[in-house]
Each structure stands twice: as C-alpha cells, then as structure tokens.
Amino acid sequence: MSDHITITLPDGSARQYAAGTTAGDVARSIGKRLAKAAVAAKVNGEEYDLERPLPDGATVSIITDDTPEGRHVLRHSTAHVMAQAVTQLFPGAKFSIGPAIENGFYYDFELPDGKTFSDADLEAIEAKMREIIAADQPFVRDEVTPEEALKLFADQPYKCEIIQRVTSGDAVDALDSGEVAAGETISVYRNTPEFVDLCRGPHVPSTGRLGHFKLQKVAGAYWRGNEKGPMLQRIYGTAWESEAALKAHLEMLAEAEKRDHRRLATELDLLSFPSEIGGGLAVWHPKGAIVRKLMEDYSRQRHQEGGYEFVYTPHLTKQQLFETSGHLDWYADGMYPPMEMDNGTYYMKPMNCPMHCLIFRSRQRSYRELPLRLFELGTVYRYERAGTLHGLMRIRGFTQDDAHIYCTREQAPEEIAGLLDFVLSVLRAFGFEDFTFNLSTKDPDKYVGTDEGWEEATAALRAALERHGLEYSVKEGDAAFYGPKIDIDVRDAIGRSWQLSTIQYDFNHPERFQLEYIGPDNNRHRPIMLHRALFGSVERFFGVLLEHYAGNLPTWLAPVQVRVLPVASAHEEYATRVAERIRAVGGRVDTVSASEQLGKRIRAAKLEKLPYILVVGDDDIANDTVGVNRRGGDKPERGVPVDDFVASLSREIELGATAALQA
C-alpha cells in the first residue's frame, strides 16, 4: 500500500499528499483563509467531513461557509446541537428528524408526559446550545451495522423506524430528510459519549465552528406528514456563517413580517379565509377582486395578442380521465377524495391539462393548425395538508393562467424560445427584473415514458435556455412525472426568491391520450405538448405582488387610485364633482364625507396605501383646484388645477397599463 495519495483540485491541478490526508489538511495546505472558511468538502461528487481521510485519486473541492452547500452544513450541524441540548434539558425526549432547510433548520421532538415547549424553553435551549458550542465538542463520525444502530437507538423509536425503513429499502423519506443513507452500514455522529445522532452528514469539524444562530418558533408537525400519526413539536431556527449575515437575515424577516400578504389583505380589505368555508380556500372582497380582474384582463389580452385560443373546462371529471393522464398513479395524494355518483366516480380536477387534451382530440387535426395554443384561466383543487397551508402562497383552490401548446417536434424549439420571452415580459410588466432559471430533470423513481424521450425533451429545454444566453441551475429529479420543466423564480424587493412561472415539455400525455395530427405526408403523427403557466396561480402571484410592493400597488393596479376628502360638509358637493371628473377618464375614485376630522380621514387613507389623496376646501371651490397628497410624497401640493391632475392621472394609468402590455 502506497504511503502517498494523489488528489485533483477544481482547477485540474494534481497534488500529492501523505496517505491519511483529510480535506481539512488540503484546505490548510492551500491557505489560512480557505482553512478558516472551510466546513466540508466534495470528494468525487460526494460530501465529506473535513477530517475524513481522502481516497487516492480523488477529485476534491472545499466547501466554504458562505456558499449554499456550506450554509447547509452549518445549519444541519446546528440542528444536531439543538437536539443534543433538548435531550439534556428534557430527559426522556424523543427526537426524530432535523434537516437543514432554506435559510435555516428544524428538529422534531416528542417530550415526555405530553409537555409542550414554551418561549422560555426556547431561551433555555438556545443557552444550552451556546454552552455546547463553547465546549468545542468534535463531531465524530462512525459507521455501524443496522443491528448495531437499532441497539444504539433502542430508546429512540423514530430513529429506529428510519433505520428499519432504510434496511428494508423503503428509504425515500429518510433520504430526503438527510439523516441516513441506505447501504450495508449506517453513519452516526457523536459529540460526547452521552449524545449520538443518526445522520448522513457531513458536519463541521466541531461545535466551536458554529454560533451565529437564532431559534425562532415552535410549530406542530405530524410524523412523516401523516395526519393519523403522532403529533410532534418542531423547533425552527436559522444559522449563518457570520453575525453580520445573521443580522441581515433577521432584519429581512422583520421586513417580511411587515409585508406579510395575509396581514395586508386584511388591513386593505382585499380577501379573507372564512373558517366556515375551510382551510386554504379564499373569498375575494370587492377591492381584491378589482386587482384580480385587472390581472386576469391583462393576461387575457396578452394571450389574445399572442395567438392563443380560449377554452373553458369543468371543475370535476370522471375518474377515468385521471387514470388515462396518470395523475391517479402519481398524484393521488395531492387530489381531493373521490365523489361517488350514480354514474361513476368523480374527482375535483388538480390540473387542466387532461381536459385540454380532450379538446385537441375532439376532431381530426391537421399540421396546418399547429402550433395550437389553448389558454384557460382554470380553477383547480389540490389537497394540501393543513400544516402546509400559508395564505395565498399554499392554497387548496386556485386559478392557473394555464396554456397548453400542441406542436410538431420541429416547432417545439421555437415555441419554447417564444414562451421564455412571453414569461419574462409578463413578469417584467408587474415590476420584477431579477430572475433565476432552473431546469428540472427526470425523477428516476417517478416518471412515465422512455429514457430516450426524456433525453430529447430535456435537451430541447436546455437548448432554449442556452439560446437565450440564460444562466440556469439543474435540479436533478425535480421534474413532473410526465416531462422535464423550466422553472422561473423572481427575486422580490427584499431579496426573497419566489417560484412563479413554469414551462414543461411533455411527450407522454399525447401518447397516453392518443393525440394525432395529419402531417403533410398524409400520415398520422404524434404532437408534442408544452405546458405553460405565467402567473403560476393567480392567487399566489397576487400574494407575491402584495409582499413585493408592501401593499403599495402601482397606480394602474391599485383598487382605489384616488380618494377625495372635503374639508367640511360644505365642500362635499364639490368633492363629488371632482370624483366624477376623475371617473370620466377611467380613474377608480371614492369620496369620504366630512363626518370625521380631516386629519383622521387622511391617516385612514394613507393606511389604505392609496396612490393619491385629494383635499378640497373653499379656495379649491373658488379656483377649480385640489390639494394633492401623493403616496410617499414629502408634503402636499396646494392649488393644483383639477384638469391638470386629471390629465396627469390619466397619463399615469395609461402609461402603466401600456408599459405592462409592451414589457
């Protein structure tokens, strides 16, 4: 056995090290700055602990704490420390899973005697975690057999269930949570002889590498998301590579709380979620409905100009339709339970696409009709678990601006390119400029069709992105069961990312529905089907807009654009005449009588985030003027001629709408 190993660095250079060298040693040999920032390594594509010996011939890259992968390691390690703290403070506590998530981490617990965590408990847990971090305890990896693991976690039933699922080959949930990898051996990590956790890793070398964290809240969580299973308590936290990064994140969260669309929707009287209707189902109030109608009218106009044909489909359908489409095989958990009727079993539709396929199939089609672009503002219903519902962002009944394009294989590249342009123009129309593109590929365990078909479809989407010169990330295994997709995320005003628009390449539904067109050769051919949503869902897009603008919607979208306030009752008739002149040019305006003090009425109007507040008194009646309070303005403008204001408002509304249409 050689006493040296050779490794290859990301730049392609090869270096020799003594046998037993670790990734941490490599980082230290490169430089102090890299060694200080290092938290783990990627070795031949697999993540390694820094202190794990490297194999000969490995390709090695160092994972630093300010990268997404590095933050994941920091957060998962902090979750591990939180579990250690909880088991020390609450003897007999059972701990289940504790993965890193976007911007943070969580861990699920079951406390003895039905005890629940309080705010004071979170403070105590955080203090204990800081003691563990200050002790600089090493994370020590060990590999054990399944039998040894079961003995090691004999008093932890949730860990034992994970081990049993892994060894039986049913390890999807465990692998997704990042606790353990399937195989002959199972990895565990120890901080002290008293605490061991089941985990795939990697972790930071020692607890002293952590410390920039904050515990945030406690929530209920069913074990494995099963509503019939045990209810556990989930503690959420966030962790970062520096105190500055933690502070910036907490400040962003505080700003996000101010922008929460659920609070804004209530304050601005836009919509509500009555308990009598059920969770995840919204009713739209008049003001919210105005904004929604403007969004939908805009969408209809853009699609009409883009060569789409409008269709409508029912809200429920017989079971056979979703058997044909494959949704009952792959998506049944996300569908509402069936309804038994006198002539069969019916489902509320979770998707519009199967019905659009029936429209295509309703008569013989010619190649001259292709591409055929069908568009529907179609409402769908998906059974989201109660614990996952979140205002308009995660909802059970929503409307998609749903389009399906049927085209030839030769037409598909041009159609996809056009769809990318269409998506970006719509998102820009509503004020978004910062985009991220993700290409989702086949889930090896959840797909229909042939490998060759998937490769062709994925290549077509990849080529469209590259043709546009767009940088993109690949999400392995994240595609729908019927085809790969491009997801377009937007970054909002405070830096958060939202997944909104989707383009999918589908060669499976045309096959499953036996869709055909007659080609120029007079033979029958199978079309390609492209799925596309721009808003994603009208409801979710509306929620994102509210948070992006903090409720201060652009004038062309604002439900009430102008409010006219008479100083006293003697000025009310003039205020009404001013409102009528604004209404005559299409402005959305109201008046509020002088039954309350003017200052109180102005404050109320500002809280409603109205673009303009007009105040009228004696001088305005005499001179045909108004006082103008602009949203966000420093001070009111006095004596503005009504005609000038009306013309300016009309131009602003027209420019906003025109800019949206031309985006």
* Token code pair at residue 635: 């001070």
Question: For residues 472 and 486, what is the distance between their CA atoms, to the nearest angstrom?
Answer: 9
**42 catalytic per annotation:** no
Q: Is the dihedral of CA 15, 20, 22, 25 positive or negative?
A: negative
Residues forming a β-bridge with 348: 316
**404 catalytic per annotation:** yes
* Strand pairing report for 612-616 and 562-566: parallel
Q: Which of 72, 249, 327, 353 is catalytic?
A: 353
Q: Which of 49, 402, 492, 620 is catalytic?
A: 402
**600 catalytic per annotation:** no
* Residues 564/614, Cβ–Cβ less than 8 Å: yes
Question: For residues 243 and 241, what is the distance between their CA atoms, to the nearest angstrom?
Answer: 7
Number of Cβ within 10 Å of residue 65's Cβ equals 21
Question: For residues 206 and 212, what is the distance between their CA atoms, to the nearest angstrom?
Answer: 14
Cα distance from N-terminal residue to C-terminal residue, the chain: 66
**526 catalytic per annotation:** no
Number of Cβ within 10 Å of residue 609's Cβ equals 19
Of 386, 160, 150, the residue nearest 278 (C-alpha): 386
What is the residue whose two structure tokens read 């869709």? 515
> Which residues are CB-contacts of 266 (< 8 A; sequence separation ≥ 6)?
272
Rg over alpha carbons for the chain, rounded to the nearest Å, is: 30
Q: Which of 76, 292, 365, 382 is catalytic?
A: 382
528's enclosing H/E stretch is: strand 528-533
* Residues 354/311, Cβ–Cβ less than 8 Å: no
Exposure string (b/e) for 456-476, b if CB count within 10 Å is 16 or more?
A: bbbebbbebbeeeeeebeeee
DSSP 608: T
Question: For residues 128 and 141, what is the distance between their CA atoms, to the nearest angstrom?
Answer: 23
Question: For residues 81 and 540, what is the distance between their CA atoms, to the nearest angstrom?
Answer: 36
Please provide the DSSP assignment of 385-454 as one string: -GGG-BTTTB-SEEEEEEEEEEE-TTTHHHHHHHHHHHHHHHHHHTT---EEEEEE---TTS--S-HHHH
* Residues 361/372, Cβ–Cβ less than 8 Å: no
**353 catalytic per annotation:** yes
Phi and psi at 612, nearest 5°, equal -140, 135
**590 catalytic per annotation:** no
The answer to whether the peptide bond before residue 641 is cis (omega within 30 degrees of 0) is no
Q: Which amino acid is at 597?
A: Q
DSSP 207: G
Q: Which of 404, 571, 588, 609 is catalytic?
A: 404
Question: For residues 68 and 46, what is the distance between their CA atoms, to the nearest angstrom?
Answer: 15
Q: Which amino acid is at 176?
A: D
Q: Which of 75, 224, 303, 485 is catalytic?
A: 485
Strand ranges (E), 382-483: 397-407, 435-440, 472-475
Q: Which of 84, 400, 504, 561 is catalytic?
A: 400
**525 catalytic per annotation:** no
Q: Which of 531, 532, 601, 609 is catalytic?
A: 531
What is the residue whose two structure tokens read 């059972």? 94
Helix (H, G, I), strand (E, B) or coil at 83: helix
Supply the residues annotated as catalytic: 353, 382, 400, 402, 404, 485, 531
